[in-house]
Amino acid sequence: MDDAEPAFLSACSTARPSGRPADEAIHLASAFQLAGYRHVIGTLWRIGDWQPVDVADLIYSAIADGAGVAEAVHGATRRMRDRWPDDPSAWASHIHVGT
């Protein structure tokens, strides 16, 4: 999987450790990274049905325009925040894990 990137995990809580066992900080996003994906996009909590669609559109559009994955996630988060400043659950859950 030398060319595997990015992995976009738009399900709920894909970047949140389960807490069991307490001394392990592995979650689905970090498991994808360990499997060879250099860039993984995951979520920290439950998300609605429409947020992943909007966020994915913004992220993939930015990547197609030449942005790096981390930069694309950051830009998408800022644009979603500008649209819904009083609803952080709509824009703050997606994170980038990787290099």
- Rounded to two decimals, the pTM is 0.81
Cβ proximity of 9 and 42 under 8 Å: yes
pLDDT digit string (tens) for 49-87?
788 889 899 999 999 999 999 999 999 999 999 999 998
Question: Do residues 17 and 25 make contact, with C-beta atoms less than 8 angstroms apart?
Answer: yes
- Which pLDDT score, from 0 to 100, does residue 7 have? 78
Question: What percentage of the chain exceeds 90 in pLDDT?
Answer: 29
- Give the residue from 46, 44, 48 showing the smallest Cα distance to 27: 44
Cβ-proximal residues to 13 (8 Å cutoff; 6+ apart), any chain? 27, 43, 44, 45, 46
